[in-house]
C-alpha cells in the first residue's frame, strides 16, 4: 500500500508519522510558538530530525469555537513557510479548506492537501483534479469549527463517519481521482463527544472496510484530557498511547506534535510485530524515513 502525492510515493507498509507545523497564534496546543518564518522552519527541521515522515503545515486554528480566518491572512502565514519546507526533501502537507490556498500551495510544490472539510468548499474539487498527482486527506467534521462542539453528533458515530467518507470518496472517484491519492481521517474531536471519539478508536477496524489508508489525529486532543484530567501540555503519554492504539487497529499514519516520543513508542510496537511474524527488528525499522 502506498500514498501517491505530488513528489513522493509514500510507502505505507509501515506506519508513517506526520509532524505538525502550526504557524498560528491561537492553536489549542502550540499557538504562537512557531508563528514566524525562521522558528517555523527550525521546528520543521527538528521534526524531520526526530523522525517525521511528513510535515503538516497549517495556518488557521480549527479548535472548537475558533473564528474563521480571512484568506489573505492565512496565505500570508502559510506560503512563505511552505516555500522553505518544500526544500527540505520530505513530503509537505498543507492543512487548509480554502481552494485558493490549496491552488497556491500546490503551485509552490506542496505534496498533500489535508482538508477538514473533505473538499466540500466550492472549487476545492476543481483544484485537486487540476493537480492530478497530489495526495488528499479527507476528514469527517460535524457542522463547523464554530458550532461543532455546541451541538455534537448523536447516534452511531462510526456508521455516520463511514457513510460520509464513502460518499466523498465516491464523488472524487467519479471525477477521476485515483484511490492511491486518498487517505481518510475520522476527525477526532471535530463535533464528537468524548465517548464517540473513543468509539471511533475502539471500532476503527470497521472504518478500514472503506479500503483506504487511515490517518489518526489524537495528539493532545481534549478527549485525552477528559479521561486523564491532564492539561494540554501534559498529554504526551496519552497522546503516544492513542497513536500506538490507532496503529495497532490499522491506522497507517498518525498526525502528532511529539514526533520523537511517538517514534520511540512505535518502535516498541514494531518490535512486537516483528517478533510475532518471526523476524528480528531492524534498527532501520523505526519512525525515520
| Burial class (CB within 10 angstroms; exposed 0-12, middle 13-18, buried 19+) of 17 | buried
**d(Cα 96, Cα 116) in Å, to the nearest integer?**
7
The dihedral of CA 133, 52, 12, 118: what is its sign?
Answer: negative
CA 270 distance to own-chain centroid: 21
Task: Provide the pairing of β-strand 9-11 with 2-4.
Answer: antiparallel
Choose, from 77, 181, 252, 255, the residue flagged as catalytic.
Answer: 255
In angstroms, rounded to a whole number, what is the distance separating the alpha carbons of residues 61 and 35? 12
Active site includes 16? no
* Chain center to CA of 230: 23
C-alpha to C-alpha distance for 279 and 216, rounded to whole angstroms: 27
Active-site residue (options: 220, 221, 235, 252): 221
d(CA 198, CA 224): 9
- 143: annotated active-site residue: no
In terms of Cβ atoms closer than 10 Å to its own Cβ (0-12, 13-18, 19+), residue 150 is exposed
Alpha carbons 97 and 260: distance in angstroms, whole number: 28
Q: How many CB atoms lie within 10 A of CB 180?
A: 16
Residues annotated as catalytic are 221, 255
Amino acid at each position: 500500500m502506498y500514498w501517491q502525492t505530488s513528489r513522493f510515493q509514500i510507502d505505507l507498509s509501515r506506519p508513517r508519522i506526520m509532524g505538525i507545523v502550526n504557524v498560528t497564534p491561537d492553536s489549542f496546543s502550540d499557538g504562537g510558538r512557531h508563528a514566524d518564518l525562521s522558528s517555523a522552519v527550525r521546528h520543521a527541521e527538528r521534526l524531520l530530525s526526530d523522525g517525521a515522515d511528513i510535515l503538516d503545515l497549517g495556518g488557521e486554528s480549527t479548535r472548537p469555537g475558533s473564528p474563521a480566518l480571512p484568506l489573505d491572512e492565512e496565505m500570508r502565514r502559510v506560503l512563505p513557510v511552505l516555500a522553505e519546507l518544500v526544500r527540505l526533501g520530505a513530503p509537505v502537507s498543507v492543512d487548509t479548506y480554502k481552494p485558493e490556498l490549496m491552488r497556491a500551495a500546490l503551485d509552490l510544490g506542496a505534496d498533500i492537501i489535508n482538508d477538514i472539510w473533505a473538499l466540500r468548499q466550492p472549487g476545492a474539487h476543481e483544484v485537486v483534479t487540476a493537480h492530478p498527482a497530489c495526495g488528499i486527506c479527507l476528514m469527517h467534521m460535524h457542522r463547523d469549527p464554530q458550532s461543532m462542539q455546541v451541538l455534537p453528533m448523536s447516534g452511531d458515530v462510526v456508521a455516520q463517519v463511514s457513510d460520509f467518507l464513502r460518499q466523498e470518496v465516491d464523488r472524487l472517484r467519479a471525477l477521476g481521482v485515483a484511490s492511491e491519492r486518498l487517505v481518510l481521517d475520522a476527525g477526532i474531536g471535530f463535533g464528537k463527544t468524548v465517548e464517540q471519539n473513543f468509539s471511533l478508536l475502539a471500532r476503527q477496524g470497521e472504518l478500514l472496510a472503506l479500503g483506504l489508508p487511515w490517518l489518526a489525529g489524537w495528539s493532545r486532543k481534549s478527549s485525552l484530557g477528559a479521561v486523564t484530567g491532564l492539561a494540554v501540555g501534559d498529554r504526551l503519554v496519552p497522546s503516544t498511547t492513542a497513536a500506538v492504539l490507532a496503529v495497532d487497529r490499522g491506522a497507517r499514519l498518525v498526525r502528532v506534535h511529539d514526533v520523537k516520543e511517538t517514534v520511540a513508542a512505535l518502535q516498541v510496537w514494531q518490535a512486537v510485530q516483528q517478533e510475532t511474524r518471526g523476524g528480528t527488528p531492524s534498527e532501520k525499522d523505526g519512525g525515520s524515513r
